[in-house]
């Protein structure tokens, strides 16, 4: 018997098929319209301006169409340095966070629920504490007369105050402190879902503890690790506050340059070109992330 | 018996697909006013989808649904005046028992005094009188289901829909509730549509059963008829136990291996057919053929004691067998022939049912 | 056999051989939590150079904070902006989450994607873009501009929290309510909301925190009379290490912790 999915010729007309289709469409749009106010806000204040700025990057201040803004990015050596610094800081921060964050997440994932929740609070507390407060704390700790130097010298670990801030070191310390929760959270989430009986099975089959970790646990935790690492890397690319304060002007990242271009030089063309490159890089990385990371869907859509 | 205000339901050519998967395939169904109709089928058959379409939660692709004389297929759920009971009760945890039951009455702007009266009456009806102030979490599964029932009945809906409401209960409680639901139905006379995959439940409770398979209505009949005269192998297998023998029909006469099979009804078509044999219908006879019996001879190859019945497998040779059940009382057990013995089985003509072989 | 020799996991590694892990974890937790906490005692130090442990205790930096018109004004602005952000972002985000949850797959996914762009795009670009739009809309240095900008950042968080609550909510209850005669709107307010209310409250608290702590966008968008606390703090940080900032930081830490404790409480209530 053939199966029809469209309206068949019936004695009761089309059996309300057209009207039912209309009803369905209306309901769908009604539901989506609930998201309209939020969408309108984001559109008008963010998406349109971003598009606009991107468009702007192809014009000079005078309104002449040009690729000069982009050409400057390639030609001027200062920009090359900025890109290199940004990339270096981001890569180093991500690497350090991955190395430190993995054991931390692993430890938490093996704890019973209540203890894990307690540890989660310890991770979330810095996460939600203001960026500025944390950056300031490091500024105070790392300066020449700061806590670390004072104690270090008192304990005889070193004789001269170490330059821990206003340079790359201070910046990295601060960035790792900010970014660590961002890698621990998805990693922890992913590790939590790893079936413990799999590791047990490996042990039963004769694998040593190290082997069962490397062969079973590690590969299963890779999606969470990749997701977390990508999140951290992307965040580092666009980061502003911490490098500004802890870098003391010696660590110029793309974001600092954009801010200066606008604040000091009012050079929208250059700023928007730089911004466009940053955005493009971010979108490419996000696309990679969406391919690699196993569906960590945070925003539901239909069900 | 139908109450004066009971409505009948006409379902015509209702179709629903999700992409390429057809879940309901031009279903036609007429539910009589005041009857208790069960939609019975395996999971994925479309029975719950049909119920959801009747309730208005799933929008079909096409068709027509009449409650009485009113076309409701495009009507929003809240306007259909239905009482619904779900498998997981879906009681509102932030309200107590009385609050839950009063909910539909409050929506209908009934006065407070009247609400209190009707809530208590509804609780009495499900034998939970005085439970109004209890919280939902204080109730057992059976009690929760009864509250859900009271909530669905308190505003006297014209139609009641139930989606496997007893599946979450244990066996004894389930059987108790089946009888209670039946009693309530007889008292109220509201048209009720009940969904289940449990054929025993369907047989116990329904005025009529609609067997649904793969989105189509397979058979609509009273429990008695569906059991004794199924119209297809699927229905015969889904309800009760049976074994099937291949028979050949030609010229209006059915033959099983050269023996003529006597039946009340002529075979439906020519060619290959199936003879359905229910285990409790066939008996051991002592060889003598008779006019109102179809006989088969074979050899006993297995006997299994199953508490209330003794199940006997008889091999007819040629790869075919019949399973029969005899009551396991002392008389039956005593006169039981031994293993490997040749015996003759008889099926009365009245019980002989022929089915079309599936294509 | 001491605790050290017991097996820690199903692969029979003892605690002793994993000691390095425990030490590392303790160090890391200290790394995460202590620096922030050290600011608190330092803020009570009398000397100009923040020291730990403070030799002489004093409230001078707190006095400096409370007595300063500009700091107080900025604080008031931040509180006002944060409160208004909650009022804007929570309802907008909640109904968006509900609508998207019930809409059909394809378009809803696109809309969800657009709605989380504010936290996905590098924050410096968000600030720049909003600033650019505000220059044209004449919203720079206005309170309403700040509130809208912060709302854009808070809405994705609200959506994520409410969506997760909706996923664990039994939709049959909404269906029952509708079958009993409630319209979708009535069912939402009488049945759905009472049960997701703790998630919504958590989302509200986190919206407040998002706005209160926000720095970069505020740098671009707030200013003059409507400068946020964070903006003033940032400029102060860059110019010199004003110990008053230690006092302000302490207050901010306390506010954040209280609000987080509140959110935790709501979260636990929701699981009941």
Q: What is the CATH number of the domain that holds B217?
A: 3.40.50.300
Is position B275 within any domain?
Answer: yes
Contacts of A32 in chain C (CB under 8 A): 99-100, 103, 107-108, 111
Instruction: Report whether pLDDT(B286) > 80.
Output: no
**B37, B100: one domain:** yes
Contacts of C212 in chain A (CB under 8 A): 130
- In the prediction, which pLDDT does A299 show? 36
Is position A260 within any domain?
Answer: yes
pLDDT digits (tens, 9 = 90+) for C189-208: 999 999 898 999 999 999 99
Q: Is any Cβ of chain A less than 8 angstroms from the Cβ of C269? A: no
Compute CA B134 distance to the chain's CA centroid, rounded to the nearest angstrom: 34
Cβ(B210)–Cβ(B231) under 8 Å?
no
CB contact under 8 A, B104 and C181: yes
pLDDT digits (tens, 9 = 90+) for B109-128: 999 999 999 999 999 999 89
Give the whole-angstrom CA distance, residue C193 versus residue C201.
11
**B252, B299: one domain:** yes
Helix orientation angle between C60-67 and C244-271, rounded to the nearest 10 degrees: 80
CB contact under 8 A, A275 and C125: yes
- In the prediction, which pLDDT does B114 show? 93
Which residue range forms the structural domain that includes residue B30? 9-233
Is position A302 within any domain?
Answer: no
**B262, B223: one domain:** no
Q: What are phi and psi of B3, to 5 degrees?
A: -75, 165
Residue B298 has a CB neighbour count (10 Å cut-off) of 18
For chain A, first and last CA: distance in Å? 32
Q: Is any Cβ of chain C less than 8 angstroms from the Cβ of A153? A: no
Question: Angle at CA B218, nearest 5°, toward B216 and B222?
Answer: 130
Environment class of B104 (CB within 10 Å of its CB; exposed 0-12, middle 13-18, buried 19+): buried
Residue A21: closest CA among chain B residues belongs to which residue?
A: B61
CATH value at residue A282: 1.10.3720.10
Pair type for strands B159-163 and B82-85: parallel
The string of DSSP letters for A152-200 reads HHHTTS-SS----SSSHHHHHHHHHHHHHHHHHHHHHHHHHTS-HHHHH
| B193 strand-pairing partners | B37, B161
Is position B115 within any domain?
Answer: yes
> How many domains are contained in chain B?
2
Could you tell me the CA-to-CA distances from A153 to A149, A158, C47, C49 in Å, in that order? 6, 5, 20, 17
**B25, B155: one domain:** yes
**B256, B129: one domain:** no
Of A5, A24, A27, which is closest to B17 when you measure between CB atoms? A5
Of C36, C96, C238, which is closest to A34 when you measure between CB atoms? C96
Is position B219 within any domain?
Answer: yes
Among candidate residues B209, B233, B257, the one where a domain is terminated: B233
- What stretch of H or E contains C155? helix C143-167
Which residue range forms the structural domain that includes residue A77? 55-292
pLDDT digits (tens, 9 = 90+) for A227-276: 889 889 988 988 888 888 888 888 888 888 888 888 787 778 788 888 88
Give the whole-angstrom CA distance, residue C259 versus residue C34.
19
pLDDT digits (tens, 9 = 90+) for C105-115: 778 888 888 99
**B150, B256: one domain:** no
Give me the domains of chain C, ranges plus CATH numbers: 3-60 (no CATH), 68-271 (1.10.3720.10)
Give the whole-angstrom CA distance, residue A154 versus residue A125.
31
Is position A28 within any domain?
Answer: no
Among candidate residues B233, B249, B268, the one where a domain is terminated: B233
Residue with tokens 């505003």: B155
Contacts of A107 in chain C (CB under 8 A): 21-22, 25
Is position A181 within any domain?
Answer: yes
- In the prediction, which pLDDT does A14 show? 67
Distance from CA of C184 to the nearest CA of B (A): 9
Among candidate residues B203, B233, B263, the one where a domain is terminated: B233
Is position B134 within any domain?
Answer: yes
Residue A240 has a CB neighbour count (10 Å cut-off) of 22
Of the candidates C220, C210, C244, the one whose C-alpha atom is nearest the C-alpha of residue C71 is C244
Distance from CA of B359 to the nearest CA of A (A): 11
For chain C, first and last CA: distance in Å? 40
Of C9, C35, C98, which is closest to A134 when you measure between CB atoms? C35
pTM for the predicted model, two decimal places: 0.83
Is position A10 within any domain?
Answer: no
CATH value at residue B333: 2.40.50.140
Query: How large is the ipTM?
Result: 0.83
Instruction: Suggest the residue from A16, A19, A24, A27 to mutate for an interface test with chain B (most B CBs closer than 10 A).
Output: A16
Instruction: Report whether pLDDT(B1) > 50.
Output: no
Interface A-B, measured as beta-carbon pairs within 8 A, has a size of: 45
**B198, B283: one domain:** no
> How many domains are contained in chain A?
1
Residue A62 has a CB neighbour count (10 Å cut-off) of 7
**B112, B141: one domain:** yes
**B45, B190: one domain:** yes
Is position A16 within any domain?
Answer: no
Contact partners for chain B, using 3 or more CB pairs closer than 8 A, are A, C
């Amino acid at each position: 018997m053939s199966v029809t999915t469209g309206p068949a010729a019936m004695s009761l007309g089309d059996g309300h098929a057209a009207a039912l289709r209309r009803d369905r469409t209306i309901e769908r749009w009604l539901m989506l319209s609930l998201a309209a106010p939020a969408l309108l806000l984001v559109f008008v204040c963010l998406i349109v301006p971003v598009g606009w700025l991107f468009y702007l990057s192809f014009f000079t201040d005078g309104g002449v169409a040009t690729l000069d803004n982009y050409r400057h990015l390639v030609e001027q050596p200062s920009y090359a340095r900025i890109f290199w610094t940004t990339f270096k800081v981001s890569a180093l921060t991500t690497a350090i966070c991955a190395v430190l964050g993995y054991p931390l997440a692993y430890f938490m994932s093996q704890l019973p629920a209540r203890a894990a929740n307690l540890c989660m609070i310890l991770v979330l507390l810095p996460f939600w504490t203001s960026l500025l407060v944390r950056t300031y704390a490091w500024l105070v700790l790392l300066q020449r007369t700061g806590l670390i130097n004072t104690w270090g010298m008192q304990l005889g670990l070193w004789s001269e105050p170490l330059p821990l801030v206003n340079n790359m070191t201070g910046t990295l310390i601060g960035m790792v402190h900010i970014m660590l929760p961002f890698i621990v959270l998805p990693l922890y989430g992913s590790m939590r879902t790893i079936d413990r009986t799999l590791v047990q099975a490996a042990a039963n089959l004769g694998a040593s503890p190290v082997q069962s970790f490397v062969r079973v646990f590690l590969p299963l935790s890779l999606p969470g690790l990749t997701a977390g690492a990508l999140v951290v890397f992307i965040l580092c690319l666009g980061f502003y506050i911490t490098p500004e304060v802890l870098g003391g002007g010696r660590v110029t990242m793309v974001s600092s340059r954009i801010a200066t271009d606008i604040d000091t030089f009012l050079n929208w063309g250059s700023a928007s070109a730089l911004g466009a490159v940053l955005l493009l890089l971010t979108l490419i990385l996000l696309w990679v992330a969406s391919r690699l990371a196993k569906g960590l869907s945070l925003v539901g859509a239909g069900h | 018996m139908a109450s004066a205000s009971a409505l009948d339901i006409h379902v015509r050519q209702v179709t629903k697909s999700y992409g390429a998967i057809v879940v309901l395939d031009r279903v036609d169904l007429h539910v009589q006013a005041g009857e208790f109709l069960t939609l019975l089928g395996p999971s994925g058959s479309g029975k719950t989808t049909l119920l959801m379409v009747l309730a208005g939660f799933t929008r079909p692709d096409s068709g027509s649904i009449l409650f009485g004389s009113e076309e409701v297929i495009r009507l929003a759920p809240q306007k259909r005046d239905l009482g619904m009971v779900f498998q997981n009760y879906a009681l509102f945890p932030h309200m107590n028992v009385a609050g839950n039951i009063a909910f539909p009455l409050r929506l209908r702007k009934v006065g407070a005094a009247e609400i209190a009266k009707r809530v208590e009456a509804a609780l009495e009806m499900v034998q939970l009188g005085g439970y109004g102030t209890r919280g939902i979490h204080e109730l057992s599964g059976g009690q929760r289901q009864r509250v859900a029932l009271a909530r669905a009945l308190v505003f006297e809906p014209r139609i009641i829909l139930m989606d496997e409401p007893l599946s979450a209960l244990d066996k004894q409680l389930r059987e108790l509730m089946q009888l209670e639901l039946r009693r309530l139905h007889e008292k109220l006379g509201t048209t009720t549509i009940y969904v289940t995959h449990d054929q025993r439940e369907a047989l116990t409770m329904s005025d009529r059963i609609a067997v649904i398979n793969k989105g189509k209505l397979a058979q609509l009949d009273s429990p008695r008829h569906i059991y004794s005269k199924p119209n297809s192998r699927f229905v015969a297998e889904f309800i009760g136990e049976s074994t099937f023998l291949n028979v050949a029909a030609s010229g209006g006469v059915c033959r099983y291996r050269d023996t003529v099979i006597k039946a009340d009804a002529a075979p439906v078509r020519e060619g290959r057919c199936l003879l359905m044999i229910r285990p409790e219908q066939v008996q051991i006879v002592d060889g003598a053929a008779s006019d109102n019996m179809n006989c088969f001879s074979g050899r006993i190859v297995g006997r299994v004691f199953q508490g209330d019945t003794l199940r006997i497998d008889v091999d007819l040779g040629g790869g075919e067998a019949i399973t029969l059940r005899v009551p396991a009382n002392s008389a039956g057990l005593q006169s039981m022939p031994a293993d490997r013995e040749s015996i003759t089985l008889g099926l009365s003509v009245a019980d002989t049912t022929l089915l079309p072989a599936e294509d | 056999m001491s605790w050290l020799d017991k097996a820690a996991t199903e692969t029979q590694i003892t605690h002793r051989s994993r000691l390095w892990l425990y030490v590392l974890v303790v160090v890391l937790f200290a790394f995460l939590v202590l620096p922030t906490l050290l600011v608190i005692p330092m803020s009570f130090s009398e000397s100009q150079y923040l020291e730990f442990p403070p030799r002489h205790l004093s409230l001078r930096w707190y006095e400096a904070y409370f007595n300063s018109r500009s700091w107080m004004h900025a604080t008031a602005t931040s509180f006002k902006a944060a409160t208004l952000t909650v009022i804007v972002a929570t309802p907008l985000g909640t109904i968006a989450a509900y609508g998207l949850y019930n809409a059909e797959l394809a378009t809803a996914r696109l809309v969800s994607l657009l709605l989380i762009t504010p936290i996905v795009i590098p924050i410096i670009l968000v600030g720049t873009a909003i600033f650019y739009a505000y220059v044209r809309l004449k919203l720079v240095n206005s309170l309403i501009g700040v509130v809208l900008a912060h709302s854009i950042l808070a809405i994705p968080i609200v959506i994520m929290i409410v969506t997760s609550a909706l996923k664990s909510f039994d939709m049959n209850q909404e269906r029952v309510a509708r079958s009993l005669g409630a319209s979708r709107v009535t069912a939402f307010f009488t049945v759905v909301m009472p049960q997701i209310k703790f998630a919504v409250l958590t989302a509200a608290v986190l919206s407040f925190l998002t706005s209160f702590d926000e720095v970069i966008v505020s740098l671009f968008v707030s200013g003059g009379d409507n400068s946020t606390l964070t903006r003033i703090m940032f400029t102060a940080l860059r110019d010199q290490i004003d110990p008053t900032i230690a006092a302000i930081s302490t207050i901010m830490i306390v506010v954040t912790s209280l609000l987080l404790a509140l959110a935790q409480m709501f979260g636990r209530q929701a699981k009941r």
